[in-house]
Chain A
Amino acid sequence: MPIEVLMPALSPTMTEGTLAKWNVKEGDEVASGDVIAEIETDKATMEVEAVDEGKIGKLIVDAGTENVAVNQVIAYILEEDEDASALDNVSASAAPKAEEAPAESASEEAPAAGSSNAAPVAASGAIERSDAEPRAMSVMNATQDEKTYTSFKTQTVREALRDAMAEEMRSDDQVFVMGEEVAQYEGAYKVTQGLLDEFGDKRVIDTPITEHGFTGLATGSAFMGLKPVLEFMTFNFAMQAIDQIINSAAKTLYMSGGQLGCPIVFRGPNGAASRVGAQHSQCYASWYAHCPGLKVVAPWSAADAKGLLKAAIRDPNPIVFLENEIMYGQSFEVPDDDDFVLPIGQAKIEREGTDVTIVAFSIMVGKALKAAEQLAEQGISAEVINLRTIRPLDVNTIVRSVMKTNRLVTVEEGWHFSGIGAEIASVAMEHAFDYLDAPVARVTGEDVPMPYAANLEKLALAQDSHIVAAAKAVCYR
């Protein structure tokens, strides 16, 4: 059979073009790569190269013809052992094919271009609709009662984080810690104290100040199965590296069809510290929580910090672990048990209540608890949920609480636009619409870059008084 030369598409969106010029005539010998024609679209002129070798048997479309449909036969090449008689059968059928080759039929012949656009879109719609409820429910079913511990010790968040890393490094030699000042300096915030002494410089590695580079490097090592715990001195600096976190760490499992996992923990202080100005005071929870392929964890207490960091290091997925500098020095009771670990994806009810649900994470949990005390004095019983994990969100705990209290206040340090509070409000609307007795209220940071001046900084941050006011507002008090 003679080889068909088809009108090529220059891009997935091209449906037709002009056959501007033939560079060969019938009877010419061509080899792979020889330019045989030029085609034009409104955007470009491109050369058509022969893909097979042989002799030009017949030119079907004249030079200068406009609106030639993609995939229409424009010429035949005779193979080595063929002569012109081989064209007898095909020539007759070629002409009608040319005429009846409008864009529609061309796209029908091209299943990848045509149906791959249509099918997955339709399918995803179908799956999305039928699956939205069960997916949320599966989260609900996953909730289990937390294991109870009998023995506790008082620890700072800083010590709890260190112990979590040390314990995991002891049990798995593939775990290593890397970051700026993590080894000899023992951490800019002293979180990695003692690790260099115990594990040596092979596993506790000081990096240059080179976030984009070391994040890519650590991610590459995680593709190979190592388990890096990567410390960002603060998450503000991880913005330099966000391409590697999202495009490499979070997406590669999917893009590789499940071949390459990325067991890495990106950890460090997130959000505002104190008087460090706009570039060092930002909450990244909603940035990372937006992206499939990542888990996003935000501990509040020392027990959270230890149990969740241990879980994060053991988890085979990339985890963004958002700490808070102001919390590092605060002390809490931590279970004194070698097996203590907390499940990722499970929120904790820190205080039970009946009148209003307050959902918070990280440092805001403490402010929410203070607010709950003040509310109690005013006769309002607030339930405080510590999210612990932002993604996957524990929809179950939130929804069950809202079904009980019928009122919801979300609290976060970050900005309100596209914030975590917006997502939680949406979850409440989707899953507990009929239970809400008031619109959801969001307490967030003000919509400004963080100011330096002490008075302005205080005004920009959410305070317990804002939470109290919001809770009273949704209770119509």
Chain B
Amino acid sequence: MATTKRKRATTRADNQASSDDLLKYYREMLLIRRFEEKAGQLYGMGLIGGFCHLYIGQEAVVVGMQAAASDEDGVITSYRDHGHMLATGMDPAGVMAELTGREGGYSQGKGGSMHMFSKEKNFYGGHGIVGAQVPLGTGIAFSYKYREENKVCMTYLGDGAVNQGQVYEAFNMAALWQLPVIYCIENNQYAMGTSTQRHSSSPDLYERGKAYGIPGEQVDGMDVLAVKAAGERAVAHCREGKGPYILELKTYRYRGHSMSDPAKYRTKDELDKMRKEHDPIDMVKKLLIDGNIVDEAGLKDIDKEVKAEVAKAAEFAQNSPEPDVSELFTDILIDA
């Protein structure tokens, strides 16, 4: 049984990514950001209803983790899920159309922002109850082990979810049964409006598996390469059959908890500092420019492509019809 590793204070990666990789991460992160900005805009126009939790600022986490995973691996997360869907390769138009509650959405408009799935892309939601996805993701990992498939389930949770009891029930079983699950704790420092200092007796969330012998690492979640490197260590651990792994990805969300959160619990300076000094997209942009991988014009071309893709998604999401009223009564039970 592995024991908790020493604290690796904000592990930074050796810059080993290829030019193509860097361009890919840049594009993927930018797609998430532009998508989320557009979602915020459509929400403001009343085209998206209910709750809408944006991922802006946290893009390096899911893009870095997906870079470490294979397409066959499973992904499950909470309700701040748009970034994860895009990172697993789900179609932005289908995701946006679900946000607008239309027929063309991934759940045909019946799930919404917090409840979306793609079996094809191994994305298992999109769960609206804080922490509930953790036992579910552990169960997905259980199925991999049961069927002797060499897959890993990336189970994302926020710093708010780490105080839910069922998280530890899942940690215990995952360690007990050596299940291939990576618990990716996205520590964006605020559980809705309550800071980590105010909600957690110990701020080091990567240590939360210590009692179960689950190794944990703290990672700079604003650095996509650091995330990828840590993700690779975690994936290797799982694939070797050594059981679960915890990554605490220190990140920051630029927007409020949901669209209607004015975020009064933090200072403008704090936010500005993160944006200016730790922006995950700017970081990769700098690597691309400094490494002469691409020039400003080349970046502009990528920006335009991404913007066009998002614009197309937004257009589809507004033009796709609302679900047929007959859909009200479908998908409740499967015919036995």
Among A241-249, A323-331, A406-414, the stretch in contact with B:
A241-249
A33-B254 in contact given A116-B101, A292-B332 (Cβ < 8 Å): yes
User: Quick check: A257 and B107 within 8 Å, CB to CB?
Assistant: yes
Q: Which 6 A-B pairs rank lowest in CB-CB distance, beginning with the nearest? A: A220-B139, A213-B169, A216-B135, A8-B44, A110-B46, A113-B46
User: Quick check: B125 and A252 within 8 Å, CB to CB?
Assistant: yes
Within 8 A of A (CB), among B50-90: 50, 56, 76
Residue B37 contacts which of A49, A106, A110 (CB distance < 8 angstroms)?
A49
**How near does chain B come to A55, taking the closest CB pair, in angstroms?**
16
What residues of chain A lie closer than 8 Å to B48, measured between beta carbons?
A: 112
Among A9-17, A269-277, A380-388, the stretch in contact with B:
A9-17
- How far is it, in angstroms, between the C-alpha of A124 and the C-alpha of B166 when the chains are bound? 36
**How near does chain B come to A410, taking the closest CB pair, in angstroms?**
25
User: Quick check: B138 and A217 within 8 Å, CB to CB?
Assistant: yes
What residues of chain B lie closer than 8 Å to A220, measured between beta carbons?
A: 76, 124, 135-140, 142-143
A-B contact pairs, 7 of them (CB 8 A): A33-B275, A48-B44, A71-B46, A214-B169, A256-B111, A257-B108, A317-B336
A11-B260 in contact given A113-B47, A243-B129, A293-B332 (Cβ < 8 Å): yes
Q: Indicate whether B291 reaches chain A with its CB closer than 8 angstroms.
A: no
**How near does chain B come to A392, taking the closest CB pair, in angstroms?**
9
**How near does chain A come to B252, taking the closest CB pair, in angstroms?**
13
What residues of chain B lie closer than 8 Å to A12, measured between beta carbons?
A: 46, 49-50
**Further pairs besides A44-B262, A216-B134, A247-B128: 4, Cβ < 8 Å:** A7-B44, A51-B37, A119-B325, A223-B124
Residues 15-33 of chain A, each 1 if its beta carbon lies under 8 Å from chain B, else 0: 0000000000000000011
Q: Indicate whether B333 reaches chain A with its CB closer than 8 angstroms.
A: yes
Q: Indicate whether A215 reaches chain B with its CB closer than 8 angstroms.
A: yes
User: Quick check: B47 and A217 within 8 Å, CB to CB?
Assistant: no
User: Quick check: A9 and B45 within 8 Å, CB to CB?
Assistant: yes
Within 8 A of A (CB), among B113-141: 115-119, 124-129, 132, 134-140
Q: Indicate whether B259 reaches chain A with its CB closer than 8 angstroms.
A: yes
- How far is it, in angstroms, between the C-alpha of A176 and the C-alpha of B45 when the chains are bound? 49
**How near does chain A come to B298, taking the closest CB pair, in angstroms?**
16
What residues of chain A lie closer than 8 Å to B119, measured between beta carbons?
A: 259-260
Among A82-90, A191-199, A204-212, A421-429, the stretch in contact with B:
A204-212
Q: Indicate whether B330 reaches chain A with its CB closer than 8 angstroms.
A: yes
User: Quick check: B44 and A259 within 8 Å, CB to CB?
Assistant: no
Q: Indicate whether A127 reaches chain B with its CB closer than 8 angstroms.
A: yes
What residues of chain B lie closer than 8 Å to A109, measured between beta carbons?
A: 45-46
- How far is it, in angstroms, between the C-alpha of A314 and the C-alpha of B334 when the chains are bound? 12
User: Quick check: A248 and B169 within 8 Å, CB to CB?
Assistant: no
User: Quick check: A219 and B136 within 8 Å, CB to CB?
Assistant: yes
A213-B135 in contact given A221-B146, A223-B124 (Cβ < 8 Å): yes
User: Quick check: B117 and A260 within 8 Å, CB to CB?
Assistant: yes
Interface residues of B (CB under 8 A from A): 33-34, 37-38, 40-41, 43-50, 56, 76, 100-102, 105-111, 115-119, 124-129, 132, 134-140, 142-144, 146-147, 165-166, 168-170, 172-173, 176, 254, 259-260, 262, 275, 322, 325-326, 328-334, 336
Q: Indicate whether A451 reaches chain B with its CB closer than 8 angstroms.
A: no
Within 8 A of B (CB), among A62-88: 70-71
Residue B106 contacts which of A106, A114, A219, A257 (CB distance < 8 angstroms)?
A257
- How far is it, in angstroms, between the C-alpha of A49 and the C-alpha of B34 when the chains are bound? 12
Closest to A209 in B: B169
User: Quick check: B136 and A51 within 8 Å, CB to CB?
Assistant: no
User: Quick check: A212 and B166 within 8 Å, CB to CB?
Assistant: yes
- How far is it, in angstroms, between the C-alpha of A58 and the C-alpha of B127 when the chains are bound? 42
What residues of chain A lie closer than 8 Å to B330, measured between beta carbons?
A: 258
Residue A216 contacts which of B37, B50, B138 (CB distance < 8 angstroms)?
B138
Q: Indicate whether A376 reaches chain B with its CB closer than 8 angstroms.
A: no
Residues 213-240 of chain A, each 1 if its beta carbon lies under 8 Å from chain B, else 0: 1111111111111100000000000000
Total number of A residues with any Cβ neighbor in B under 8 Å: 78
User: Quick check: A45 and B262 within 8 Å, CB to CB?
Assistant: yes
Closest to A261 in B: B334
User: Quick check: B146 and A176 within 8 Å, CB to CB?
Assistant: yes
User: Quick check: B129 and A247 within 8 Å, CB to CB?
Assistant: yes
Residue B173 contacts which of A10, A214, A252, A261 (CB distance < 8 angstroms)?
A214
What residues of chain B lie closer than 8 Å to A292, measured between beta carbons?
A: 332
**How near does chain A come to B95, taking the closest CB pair, in angstroms?**
13
- How far is it, in angstroms, between the C-alpha of A13 and the C-alpha of B320 when the chains are bound? 23
User: Quick check: A217 and B111 within 8 Å, CB to CB?
Assistant: no
What residues of chain A lie closer than 8 Å to B144, measured between beta carbons?
A: 224
What residues of chain B lie closer than 8 Å to A212, measured between beta carbons?
A: 135, 165-166, 169
A32-B143 in contact given A110-B45, A110-B46, A255-B111 (Cβ < 8 Å): no
Closest to B254 in A: A33
User: Quick check: A226 and B143 within 8 Å, CB to CB?
Assistant: yes
User: Quick check: B169 and A247 within 8 Å, CB to CB?
Assistant: no
A223-B37 in contact given A202-B146, A255-B110 (Cβ < 8 Å): no
Residue A315 contacts which of B137, B140, B166, B336 (CB distance < 8 angstroms)?
B336
Q: Indicate whether A283 reaches chain B with its CB closer than 8 angstroms.
A: no
**How near does chain B come to A276, taking the closest CB pair, in angstroms?**
25
User: Quick check: B334 and A112 within 8 Å, CB to CB?
Assistant: no
A221-B142 in contact given A112-B101, A256-B111, A293-B332 (Cβ < 8 Å): yes
User: Quick check: A46 and B127 within 8 Å, CB to CB?
Assistant: no
User: Quick check: B46 and A9 within 8 Å, CB to CB?
Assistant: yes
Residues 103-146 of chain A, each 1 if its beta carbon lies under 8 Å from chain B, else 0: 00011011111111001100110110001000000000000000
